[in-house]
Amino acid sequence: MPVPDLNLLVTLEVLLAECNVARAAQRLRLSPSAMSRALARLRETTGDPLLVRAGRGLVPTPRALELRDRVSQLVQDSEAVLRPAGKPNLKELVRTFTLRTSEGFVENFGPGLIARVGEQAPGVRLRFVQKPDRESAPLRDGTVDLETGVVGTTMGPEVRAQALFRDRFIGVVRMGHALGQGEITPARYAAGRHICVSRRGLATGPIDEALRPLGLERDVATIVGGFATALALARASDLVASVPERHTGKLRAGMHSFALPVAVPEITVSLFWHPRLQADPAHRWLRELVLETCAAS
């Protein structure tokens, strides 16, 4: 029996991830015809069509679905074996890392992290991108190196996570607001006009669940997609913003903050990355730097 071409494993992993010959060819810097020939060889080697036509696209066969995770792990293990394990020369390291972060992270932790990176590895550049959802696809396809946020149900099971810190929600109003003086009771808090922060456009959340047993309901005047927007509105009006305390420290400068008068569960902000980068020395260095930055602030 001829020895199979192990180079086909990388091709198979990309094909099964993309389910599209043209996109797979682009990722591997091959021509579409070369990728089509590789797919034909894979079909012959495995004895399975792997990807079959469905309308205008391709869908994986049951055999392909069975192989996908195994092939991905084999490729990751192979890359780890062939990758140098020594510590990188940080002074000579030239690399751009992409971080997808929750709103407020850059404003509060970015300056410290950028300063540490600049001091230790002046050739390293950090690129921060917005996080519109909790999908882990950018980590899987390599367009994002690190991500911060709260663990969600849409996060892939293979993604690695490291807790950075715990955060609690607080109330924030402009200076001179009525809630800036006196005891903040649940009734006083609920009676204000509120800004609800929700990426999905929802008008209720954990705070409303905590108020409900008391027979109270917030008057939500507006719904926004991020904490920075909520704080900007609260700064310029009589609206009440409820935001994570540590995530918004610098954004709340010059405003009045107060503890919420109801018990709302704390959140754990974590750092996420794909297992393919677990053993990468430069990536490990950056992960440790993010941890140090969050612990020091």
Give the number of domains in the chain.
3
Asked if residue 189 belongs to a domain, the reply is yes
Q: What angle do CA 167, 274, 146 make, to 5 degrees?
A: 50
Token look-up 């899987």 returns 140
Q: How far is CA 286 from CA 97, 126, 159, 277, in A?
A: 9, 10, 17, 11
Q: Which of 82, 109, 129 is the last residue of a domain?
A: 82
| One domain, residues 55 and 183 | no
CATH label of the domain that carries residue 159:
3.40.190.10
| One domain, residues 275 and 261 | no
Per-residue pLDDT of the chain (297 residues; tens, 9 = 90+): 566 677 888 888 988 888 888 998 898 889 989 989 989 998 988 899 999 988 888 898 999 888 888 888 888 888 777 766 567 889 999 999 999 997 788 888 999 999 999 999 999 999 999 887 667 788 888 889 999 988 765 566 788 999 999 999 999 999 999 999 999 999 999 999 999 998 888 889 999 999 999 999 999 999 998 898 999 999 999 999 999 999 898 899 999 999 999 999 999 999 999 998 988 999 999 999 999 999 987
The residues that bridge with 223 in the sheet, in sequence order, are 196
What pLDDT does residue 76 have?
82
- Residues with Cβ within 8 Å of residue 232, at least 6 apart in sequence: none
Which spans in the chain are helix H? 8-18, 21-27, 32-46, 62-82, 105-120, 137-141, 186-191, 206-211, 227-235, 281-296
What pLDDT does residue 161 have?
92
Q: Of 169, 197, 171, whose CA–CA distance to 256 is shortest?
A: 171
pTM for this one?
0.66
What pLDDT does residue 1 have?
54
What pLDDT does residue 134 have?
65
Range of the domain at 153: 95-167+268-296
| Residue type at 16 in one-letter notation | L
Asked if residue 88 belongs to a domain, the reply is no
Element (H, E) at 171: strand 169-173
CA distance 66 to 53: 18
What pLDDT does residue 68 have?
87
Q: Per the structure block, which two tokens stand in for 87?
A: 């510590």
What pLDDT does residue 189 have?
97
Helix 32-46 and helix 8-18, axial crossing angle in degrees, nearest 10: 110
Asked if residue 242 belongs to a domain, the reply is yes
| One domain, residues 226 and 278 | no
